[in-house]
Amino acid sequence: MAKKTPEQKAEEALRYDAARTASTKEELEPFLTDPNQAIRVVASMNWAADAEMLDRFAEDKFWGVRIQIVGHPNISQATLRKLLEANTRKRGVVHHAAREKLEALGVVFGDDGMPLDAA
């Protein structure tokens, strides 16, 4: 991989700052598809991200983004449930973190590792 030019580094630093300081959904929107995974992580941790925006970040292929939204205070139970993996072989840190948070919210899990209720 080629080294980044000073201009590329400066542009990336501006995107980091914009992701960190965004204060509306509209300002966060471009970061859903930012090519830099780390910038998407920063955007997903932004206090301005509401439940709807976090649900969209839950679709990210990068587990680092998904694990960050689990701890976000604005995440909904529906999004946490979306992060659960029914296939036991595919479960990882995101599933376990989402389960832990749901259990703290009173959701009961069955022997299969999934919520007993169908909500």
Taking only the tens place, the pLDDT of each residue in 49-80 is: 999 999 999 999 999 999 999 999 999 999 99
- Band of the pLDDT at 118, cuts 50, 70, 90? low
Whole-model pTM?
0.89
Tell me the mean pLDDT in the region 11-18.
Answer: 97
Give the start-to-end residue ranges of the domains of the chain.
Answer: 6-104
Structure tokens at 73: 């205070």
| Partner residues linked to 115 by β-bridges | 109
What residues have CB less than 8 Å from 38, skipping those under 6 apart? 16, 64
User: Is the per-residue pLDDT at 2 higher than 90?
Assistant: no
Backbone angles phi, psi at 109, to 5 degrees: -110, 150
Tell me the mean pLDDT in the region 14-32.
Answer: 97
